[in-house]
Amino acid sequence: MLVLRRFFLSDFSAGQRYALSKGESYHIRKVLRYKKGNILTVFDGKGFEGKAEIVSIDDCTVEVQILEKREVLRELPLDIHLYLGLCKEKAWTLALKSCIELGVSRITPVICKRSLFGEKEKGRKKLQRWRKIAIESSKQCGANYLSQIENFLLLSEIEKEEELLLLGSPTGQSISKSAESIVRANSVGIIIGPEGGLEDMEEEMLVQKGAQPCSLGKHVLRVETAAIALVSAVIAIYEMERGKKKGE
């Protein structure tokens, strides 16, 4: 089965023509070297995708005609919000890409006492870059809803918005102990600290706000490893327990 390449188009309707963004057009022209008449897939980040035909290519822009539009849901019914402590750029970006591919709905960069955070202007540029990465990761994994990259947040500003708030901690109880809570929840927040972890006072503050400390074993994990592992564990538990209930 031929899998069509996916491209982001924020809004489209069947039967209409649209110019793709500068970045998408460049990729089609210079990297993939597509020609007029080639077929591709577009998605809007709001749950819809469509089949499109290239109808025009010039030096800067690629135009497509939308042949069909349909709603295709590949996302979990579980809303996962990852609060990720700021750390080195390479580690943060790896966690960002991987967790979006796994199915996280929202990611908030969190400033902790041990976080690496530079000037505000650099922070704004990082947000722009991370939001572009979110689009690329969604294109790659087939998600039709874009994961939202929220603005920076101080750790002290985190409130229990989700039904269940989990805190990655090497001293917490096994994540398996939270299985019943995970499968009952419609939304789960996951907090991962920066390099060096959260300070004791920070953990205590989060616990007072309703966070449940949980761990994936006795080993000390890197930030990106902890984020990927805990998100994967929550999804696996949710899918497994939901499957059991369907089979009953």
Average pLDDT, rounded, for the chain: 91
pLDDT of the residue at 209: 94
Contact, 100 vs 75, CB < 8 A? no
End-to-end alpha-carbon separation of the chain, Å?
35
Tokens of 60: 């800067």
Residue 132 CB contacts under 8 Å (≥ 6 apart), including other chains? 23
pLDDT in tens, 122-156: 678 899 999 999 999 999 999 999 999 999 999 99
pLDDT of the residue at 161: 85
How crowded is the C-beta side of 159, counted as CA atoms within 13 Å? 2
Question: Which of the four pLDDT bands, split at 50, 70 and 90, describes residue 246?
Answer: low
pLDDT of the residue at 19: 95
What span, in angstroms and rounded, lies between the C-alpha atoms of 229 and 233? 6
pLDDT of the residue at 124: 82
pLDDT of the residue at 94: 96
pLDDT in tens, 223-236: 999 999 999 999 99
What span, in angstroms and rounded, lies between the C-alpha atoms of 53 and 35? 10
pLDDT of the residue at 247: 57
**CATH architecture type of domain 79-247:** 3-Layer(aba) Sandwich (3.40)
pLDDT of the residue at 153: 92
Q: Reduced to 3 states, what is the DSSP secondary structure of residue 41?
A: strand
**CATH architecture type of domain 6-71:** Beta Barrel (2.40)
Question: Which of the four pLDDT bands, split at 50, 70 and 90, describes residue 217?
Answer: confident
pLDDT of the residue at 118: 56
pLDDT of the residue at 117: 63
What span, in angstroms and rounded, lies between the C-alpha atoms of 248 and 236? 19
Q: Where in the chain is the domain with CATH 3.40.1280.10?
A: 79-247
Tokens of 228: 């990927």
Q: Where in the chain is the domain with CATH 2.40.240.20?
A: 6-71
What span, in angstroms and rounded, lies between the C-alpha atoms of 22 and 75? 28
pLDDT in tens, 46-98: 999 999 999 999 988 999 999 999 999 888 889 999 999 998 999 999 999 99
